[in-house]
A and B are shown apart, each in its own frame.
Chain A
Amino acid sequence: MKHLFGIAQLSREQIEYLVNLGASFVELSRRSVKKAPTLRGKTIINLFFENSTRTRTSFELAGKRLSADVINISASTSATKKGESLLDTGETLAAMQPHVLVIRHAIAGTCEFLADYLPDTSIVNAGDGAHEHPTQILTDLLTLKQTWDSPQGKVITIVGDIAHSRVARSHLLAAQKLGYSVRVVAPKTLLPLAIERFGCEVYHDFDAAIPGSDVLYMLRMQTERMTSSCCFPSIREYHEAYGLNRRRLDMAGKDCVVMHPGPMNRGVEITSDVADSARSHILDQVECGVAVRMAVLTALCGGGQTEPVRRSRKREQAEAAMKAQGKLL
């Protein structure tokens, strides 16, 4: 595997391979000496154009525990602030010969775009806009693997801001590949158009979606991505209609677990007593996140790649195309 752009690109076998590889790394983080030499001599750059605590930290820890050299760059301190283009930042970093670039950006498709121009660097998507967040889904699958052997036939109910959620989108793609089903629960203002084309059940009433769910997967309201203020009337009203509280948790089966990709807003999508209950797997998700990212980095740095390395002169091609277009106009 050369890049990890999203769940869409992965086959069922590749997803299972990464989750199983992740499972073997869980134990490494529980040792007193949390270090293995697997990625010694590899360089990993975390390039984050959006704020992040757990994803960035877990990529950093994953790399460091496998002895790679990890560098973090956040947009607020990068040359982007001084007006450098995304492509120039990418090419500058690639010229320093890292093995892996981990990228988070607010615009969907950033990773695919950069990969076309940087033929020698492996790129991992750590979240691009509302498009995909593959390592979060692998994390969730690893967390659930510790409860059930296979997600096949299970029902994951995703509640909240589906419209802005890359996690929801990636789950919908993974569900089709792995054979679990997804229910989405949200007011119409927080649902993308035609979401049922992903093959999920759509609910507007949270209480109706709870019976039969194996996971209640809560999402944060991504107010920073909302372009208008009319997505929901008020926090209090949203909490009444779509917040997970003790009453709703009691309505679910006794084996139903609670998950959240974080960061969570207590009192909005989830109440404190549910978040801290024994049925909440939220902190297990964080632990599994480090292990899964170790697996992803190992798979990308590992040899045995059969794909030929593309030596593209993409930039020249793009400029020639622009010129040709200019002549036509």
Chain B
Amino acid sequence: MSETIFDSKTVEQALDTMVRALRSNEVYMIGIQQGGARVADTLQQRLESSGCHVERGNLDISFYRDDLDTIGPNPEVRPSHLPFDVSGKNIWLVDDVLYTGRTIRAALGEIFDYGRPASIHLAVLVDRGGRELPIAADCTGLFCEAGVNDSVKLVTNGDWHIEQHEVVA
């Protein structure tokens, strides 16, 4: 049983807020597959229509996860694609939902395998709390408090909205 916690209007407003925070002449943006890449796509569109130049890449962090021993390899790995040189760049890392911070830790590891960026900042659409690592977002669209048995998901079929449902352990 899932419940919509943020409707499409709230998500739209949050994305606009994020665009204002990210705006600069040159934006280097990396989306984390798959939800983060979708958020990065829409942020890119909005930034470009307001006149910013955006360089985009996508990361799949499956090979960098710390849970291969417990859950096994991800059956659907999408390729990482970073068409620009990350060295010396100020990079925005984009994800849809920020939870434990482990995905971000893995993504940071992967980015550093491509080069040495000047800085990496984190932009997320939803921060649902429950961090297990010292990681915080620099730009957050929405906040909510979800318990350990809850799953918070961005739904991109039709109008974008955020759903929460309980996971039966």
Contacts and interface: CB of A to CB of B under 8 A. Distances in A.
Given A27-B79, A302-B72, A33 B114 contact: yes
Given A24-B62, A24-B78, A38-B63, A304 B114 contact: no
A38 B64 contact: yes
A304 B60 contact: no
B69 interface: yes
B169 interface: no
Interface string A75-107: 000000000000000000000000000000000
A36 interface: yes
Contacts of A32: 114-115
Contact of B75 (A17, A25, A31, A303): A17
A21 interface: yes
Given A24-B60, A36-B63, A301 B68 contact: yes
Interface residues of B, number: 23
B71 interface: yes
A305 interface: yes
A280 interface: no
B144 interface: no
A36 B68 contact: no
A66 B63 contact: yes
Nearest to B79: A27
Given A37-B63, A38-B64, A304 B113 contact: no
Given A24-B78, A37-B64, A31 B114 contact: yes
B79 A302 contact: no
Given A24-B77, A24-B79, A302-B73, A38 B68 contact: yes
Interface of B: 60, 62-64, 67-73, 75-81, 109-110, 113-115
10 contacts: A20-B76, A21-B77, A24-B60, A28-B80, A31-B113, A33-B114, A36-B63, A36-B110, A37-B63, A305-B72
